[in-house]
Structure 1
């Protein structure tokens, strides 16, 4: 929906010979935007000429030269970055924010997209129609149900949305490992490492990111003959699924990029990672602190990405994190299949819990006034 809308607006701008920039808060989202539109897209930081030494190049005194800036995944933009973006806009330029306000808010301060929408100062268009080719997709149907405060269908009467019951965290963890390693590959022919993404609400516990990463690594990449290296408490092995956690503009790798460890050069102390077909050298330990295992990632780290298959534990044991926008965000990451593992009562609780923590950045008040 929104990608098609962006493409149509770009076509209109180019017909009118208006200049524009495409940008997104994260490198991964910018890469997806560029691939979807066939046009250059970049992070907001790069658009604004940011450098750690000099800060932001563009501002009121030296604004961008453009007719329009289009920001995708705007829900991930915090108020400080939004401030810098507004400073850099020419007075006669247009700003278009595109995003899903019902997803998790930004990691940083503020609730930018929400505040802009509710200020009454911006033209707002909502895309809420399910088109015919997606009408039978239970991923789409259940995403809409969750967003509207309705419990998703969990009767396993579909080809793309499944629920497996588990009352205890250990039972759920065992089930997740089996589903990822055995059941999904057998039923759908997917690669358990490249095609399946486990997303967890919390880091600790049997169904947390840390433990699930360890267990999935031991099952999916267990070859003791493969080269490995221990860096701090973590063991990295050739074949491991890993994620880059910060932007590196010099090497064009970005926060959220996922790859596989390709090799280890013990003599030069270099970890070689294949990211989108490019072999990237990580110095040990200078660069490897930006790498984490990515068999399982947090819901926040999944924002702005899409995966063929998403598997998520949903148990009352992490009730403090069970919110409607968290469940909605996880479901909408999947392109082909969603698997929820846990308790129906936990799903009910998450759907009903729409109490997003209030954020008082002052932006909404200033926009209204």
Structure 2
């Protein structure tokens, strides 16, 4: 179906993948205008392609401080410092951003758990459910998968899993954050959407979730199989947030994923506080690395040279 609009403005357009961008352009009426607004410093989208990077856009770069629900001044300054590739000595610690040293994976996992479940709730009044642990790697001893298991085990240790919501072999606590690992097309739910599980499930086998726009949707057993744990996430799964508090584990062994775009995306997702947990050398490597994520794409070549910018 075509969109009835003379001008369509798309925010977070840097997160459009190939198929989404194709569907968007195809839905525009002839003669309509399209304005894309996004962040050129963020990671590419979850899906294939990277249209934003290929389009040579003549679009405004929206400053972090001007966005709704913007981060604190300290976090904005840190994100800009990371984007410029400033050295570690320029990254100023504050009440809203600090590095918590931890040398080995086991210590990193334990420290992250303590910060999420004890320190931030006590010192900043941020509940564990409101904290996002954003990992630069999925696998490994301090990656998203390992931290997901460790955080859930720590939170459930107090017996809070009695009223668990069971979905397709997984067990969620009421109010727990989850992620759609797969799209659910007939419900217009896209892969990567962060949701909250509502429970207990009624009728049995049905799982109710709350979407980011606060709508509630019921998932049957087959649809609920798309849900996955989201106590810890890869940075690319949670781009833009926003989250009240963000904790970023950093391990030098994850050097392939330690780069400026990933760190920038993690820090800029925090609105009140961001804690970097791990090795100082890992942070220094991420700040120094301008490595670009590998994407195979042909859009730029097919579009040809960009038009000259107006004076």
Counterpart of 1:262? 199
| Preserved CA contact (<8 Å) 1:104 1:325 | yes
1-structure distance, mates of 2:209, 2:28: 38
**Could you say if the C-alpha distance between residues 178 and 250 of structure 1 is closer, same or farther in structure 2, counting changes exceeding 3 Å?**
same
- The answer to whether structure 1 residue 215 and structure 2 residue 155 are counterparts is no
TM-score by length of 2: 0.84
Counterpart of 1:226? 162
1-structure distance, mates of 2:178, 2:206: 15
Counterpart of 2:82? 146
Structure 1 segments unaligned to the other structure (5+ residues): 1-56, 59-63
1-structure distance, mates of 2:161, 2:64: 52
1-structure distance, mates of 2:112, 2:78: 21
1-structure distance, mates of 2:275, 2:35: 34
- The answer to whether structure 1 residue 89 and structure 2 residue 28 are counterparts is yes
| Preserved CA contact (<8 Å) 2:165 2:200 | no
| Preserved CA contact (<8 Å) 2:4 2:29 | yes
Root-mean-square deviation over aligned CA pairs: 2.9
Query: Residues 290-301 of structure 1: matches in 2 within 5 Å?
Result: 290-301=226-237
Counterpart of 1:46? none
SS at match of 1:95: strand
Query: Residues 52-71 of structure 1: matches in 2 within 5 Å?
Result: 57-58=1-2, 64-71=3-10
| Preserved CA contact (<8 Å) 2:71 2:268 | no
| Preserved CA contact (<8 Å) 1:154 1:163 | no
SS at match of 1:70: strand
SS at match of 1:150: coil
1-structure distance, mates of 2:216, 2:4: 35
2-structure distance, mates of 1:126, 1:236: 39
SS at match of 2:25: helix
2-structure distance, mates of 1:270, 1:130: 41
Counterpart of 1:77? 16
**Could you say if the C-alpha distance between residues 339 and 288 of structure 1 is closer, same or farther in structure 2, counting changes exceeding 3 Å?**
same
| Preserved CA contact (<8 Å) 2:98 2:274 | yes
Task: Give the drift of 1:278.
Answer: 5.4
How many pairs does the alignment contain?
299
- Of 237, 242, 261, which aligns to 2:178? 242
Structure 2 segments unaligned to the other structure (5+ residues): 306-311
TM-score by length of 1: 0.72
1-structure distance, mates of 2:275, 2:195: 21
| Preserved CA contact (<8 Å) 1:163 1:340 | yes
**Could you say if the C-alpha distance between residues 124 and 278 of structure 1 is closer, same or farther in structure 2, counting changes exceeding 3 Å?**
closer
- Of 227, 248, 257, which aligns to 1:321? 257
Counterpart of 1:48? none
- The answer to whether structure 1 residue 200 and structure 2 residue 135 are counterparts is yes
| Preserved CA contact (<8 Å) 2:82 2:264 | yes
Task: Give the drift of 1:346.
Answer: 0.8
SS at match of 2:225: helix
| Preserved CA contact (<8 Å) 2:106 2:142 | yes
**Could you say if the C-alpha distance between residues 155 and 116 of structure 1 is closer, same or farther in structure 2, counting changes exceeding 3 Å?**
closer
**Could you say if the C-alpha distance between residues 174 and 246 of structure 1 is closer, same or farther in structure 2, counting changes exceeding 3 Å?**
same
- Bigger drift between 344-353 and 326-335 goes to 344-353
